[in-house]
Amino acid sequence: MALDPSSGFVASSSLQDLSEASLPIFNVERVQLQFAISSDFVAAQVANNVLILALTNGRILRIDLDNPADIDDIDLPKRPAEIGIIRRMFLDPTSSHLLITTTLGEIYYLHNQSRTPRPLSRLKGVFVESVAWNPSLPTASTREILVGASDGNIYEVFIEPPTEFYRREEKYFKPVYRAPGGPITGLWADLIPSQPEMRRVIVATNERLLHFAGKIGRHEGSGSIYIKLFETEAPITHDAPRISTSAPLVVSPDPPSAASFDSLSSERIFAWASSQGVFHGKLLTSPTSPDLGTKVFSEARLLPRTVLPLPEQTPVVSIALTQWHILLLAGGRVVIVNRLDDSIIYDQEVLGAGQIVLGLAVDQKKNTFWLFTNQEIFEIVVSDEDRDIWKIMLKDEQFDAALRYARTPTQRDAVATASGDYLVGKGQYLEAAGIYGKSSKPFEEVSLTLIGHGEQDALRKYLLTKLSTLKRSSVMQRVMIASWLVQIFMSKLNCFDDTITTKAEFSNTASPDQSKDELPSVRSEFQEFVAKYKSDLDRKTTYDVISSHGREEELLFYASSVNDYNYVLSYWVQRERWTETLNVLKKQTKPEIFYKYSSVLMSHVPMELVDILTRQSNINPRNLIPALLNYNKDTKVPLSQNQAVRYLLFAINQLLSSDAAVHNTLISIYASHPSKDESALLAYLESQSHQQECRYDADFALRLCIQHKRVQSCVHIYSSMEQYLQAVELALRHGEVDLASLVADRPEDNPALRKKLWLAVAKKVISQSDGIKTAIEFLKRCELLKIEDLIPFFPDFVTIDDFKEEICAALEDYSRHIDTLKKEMDESATTASNIRADIAALDRRYAIVEPGERCYVCLYPLLSRQFFVFPCQHAFHTDCLSGKVLAQVGVARGRKIKELQMEVGKGVTAGKLKERAIAELDALIASSW
């Protein structure tokens, strides 16, 4: 056989010319071979997208369907004349292991990593009819597999590719079971989930099916693991009605990918063809006991041959399974049947005359289906296999399954409507309500049906479901249904309350105990409804409905859900339920709510309200002043317990409020309090005196303190305003001599004012003092006061003996002061004399100029023209110094210098006038430098 380097194959046009819109579920497409063959096919297998073709000349082609140009051409070790032609091939689902049997009883093993088939000498002479691959699907070796022979024997084989050339391929080969009834036409082995030590094995012969389920043995050297299962477990059998000429066993492939609609369960499907039809069912995985086979066979059913459009004498030569259909090959005809309702999906003569059918093959991993003849390959293409499954499920009243496979909204709606009608017919209104809510069945019809049967709970469930499916744009419908639901909920809750209160046993309602149990769940359901659909509820309508039923808890829950805390607070305030009011207020953060209810709450629960207010940082204390003043007006408590004072101090000290209204309010409360104690007011005023600026209105505070006779506070305010005289006079007027004395000492930087203030204090002290000595001792506190300042304040009858000592002390002070002044005068005279002597000596001062000394400006010899010499020994030409001086002095002096220079230079003046001008000019220049 010659191979083209670019060989491969592609699918040609379909046998059916159908448009895409009418594309059938199944379509048989001929595969166009792109390579030349010199002999016919004798066997074919496909697995994991790998195609194996055996030719009559003994060659084997291994083709990767993902890359059709990749073809391995493999020869058997001997010629067909020696070993026979290839009879059958068995390929595992991973395409890793291939068993090749010949007509002369030879068996070869080929691994996917090898190009050389190796003979299995121990299996020589065994005509293999079926193979059960290891469920774990190993790739390095076959692990334990079962081989069914034409003589009815089943062998367990472990094939492991050797590393040495002369080593055997088969690790061990053991017969484990002999089935009566002829050749083993089918074998299947799988695992039981959650029971790793258990296996299930199904054996098919021409006469019966045998189902084994049980524990397997453990590996002990080269021992068998299946022999324990076959020796200890009796098989569950299913016999064919009469001996069949051909009875292959097939199992469905792996479920499709997660992206497609998978089967209702993960269980595979089996099918066994006999002369009576096709026996098929699920390979159930529970119960995990030897009786599993009984359940498998009891739930399986027979597809009668009479249903098939085949002549009675035409045998079924091959069979395959998809997820939902059974593929039958009889002669050259392909018949595909839906296994759920036995409907014929596809029936067509595919093969031409003279073609020899090899059979159907299934790629269990890739879910592809193939038909092989001796010369051609066909792919059975599956398109959207489960698109009509929902109809079958719906017809069988399997509504959950039908809904799962319904794809379009129309399909789902049809399933929901039919399901709801079915449940209503059975009286299961509550279940029907939830399904009706997702259907398009007329709203009025469903509602009237449920109302007519008195099914309020079902109606509530229907409305809830319907509301969840309505679009947001259907505003009116959503509001209507939501409002109706509120009415239904209220009626239900009232019904429960009435039953519980009256303890009545009504035939049509729940008992009191049942009502108590159901009441919390219905109330919780209402709360969930409000939380989810509050935006669909009209606020006024909802308030009216709930209020009309007297449902206080539900009313307040709804108001809280929509953040209508004004309504909640108003509700509790009207009923004077202060604890509930405060509980709601604690959760608020909007300042407007506090402003609105502060007056009434300050009147009834002032301490609790202030506790809440002090936890708020976004409140403007100014807006609470009316409530605080109203509270202060009505309360008769000490200042230490006054809650208005407490909050104002918090606002000033913690919130650092600089609002004059807040400070003035605190002063007003302090000043107007009936208590005579001014300590609190004074403490506040003194704390404010440390601020950079006065936060309160001093005039307002002064008027209040004068009005309420708060003398000390008035004095403090006068002092803070630096009106010390008024402060002292006020203190003295009220007999507060000590206070006046403190104020008199405050203007420390103004001795005259301080003395004036102390004279006022002295006058008051002397006028009130009983003893002259006492008055004089008091007045010694100010060092500015002298005895002569105090004498005018003493009475006329006071004799000098009363303060003789003070007068003597004063005279001594004067004497010492006079001596000090005399000494200072003498020192001043001496200093003046020294200054006059220094001035006279200036006329005799001189400086020596060396012959080579130069001007510090022009650097020419100094003696070349008139010059100046300074005590620091710097010397300048007169004109150089004039230039420097004119550049630095002001405009007026510069002008004067220029005028004098002009007078001297032009000779306008002569004699003494000229000398005076020169002297003045020299003086100006010298002094300016």
Per-residue model confidence (pLDDT) at position 446: 86
Handedness of CA 697, 702, 708, 710 (dihedral sign): positive
pLDDT score, position 789: 53
pLDDT at 829: 84
Task: Fill in the amino acid letter for 903.
Answer: E
Q: How far apart are CA 525 and CA 644, in angstroms?
A: 45
Whether the CA torsion 120, 126, 129, 131 is positive or negative: it is negative
- Cα separation, 9 vs 63, in Å, equals 10
Please name the residue that has the structure tokens 């594309």: 23
List the helix and strand counts (H, then E) for the chain. 32, 31
Q: How far is CA 214 from CA 208, 231, 561, in A?
A: 20, 10, 61
Task: Report the candidate in 829, 830, 877 with the shortest Cα–Cα distance to residue 849.
Answer: 877
Q: Backbone phi, then psi, for 879, in 5-degree steps?
A: -70, -35
In whole angstroms, give the CA distance from residue 220 to residue 800.
141
For residues 557-591, b (16+ Cβ closer than 10 Å) or e, as one string?
Answer: bbbeebeebebbbebbbeeeebebbbebbeebeee
Question: CA Rg, the chain, in Å?
Answer: 60
Q: Which long-range contacts (CB under 8 A, 24 or more apart) does 917-921 make?
A: 921/897
Helix H or strand E segment including 686: helix 679-689
pLDDT score for 108: 94
**Alpha-carbon separation of residue 157 from 25, 164, 172, 183, 235 (angstroms):** 40, 20, 6, 18, 21
- The 10 Å Cβ neighbour count of residue 778 is 17
- The Cα 181–Cα 278 span in angstroms is 19
List all residues 6 or more positions away from 333 whose beta carbon is below 8 Å from its beta carbon. 310, 314, 347, 348, 349, 350, 351
204, two tokens: 């098919």
Q: Which residue in the block uniquely carries the two structure tokens 């009116």? A: 476
> What are the tokens at 911?
């004699």
Both tokens assigned to 126: 């065994």
Query: Domain locations in the chain?
Result: 128-239, 862-928
Instruction: Please count the residues of the chain.
Output: 929
* Cβ atoms 585, 597 nearer than 8 A: yes
- What gap in Å lies between CA 186 and CA 248, rounded to an integer? 6
Q: What is the pLDDT of residue 574?
A: 86
Q: Which residue has the tokens 């098929």?
A: 280
| Distance between CA atoms of residues 100 and 93, nearest Å | 15
CA distance 495 to 493: 5
Instruction: Name the stretches of the chain with pLDDT < 50.
Output: 1-21, 258-264, 506-507, 771, 799
Is 71:86 a contact under the CB 8 Å cutoff? no
10 Å Cβ neighbour count for 215? 16
Tokens of 157: 């084989």
Contact, 57 vs 79, CB < 8 A?
no
Buried b vs exposed e over 448-477: b needs ≥16 C-beta within 10 Å? ebbeeeebebbbbbbbbbbbeeeeeeeeee
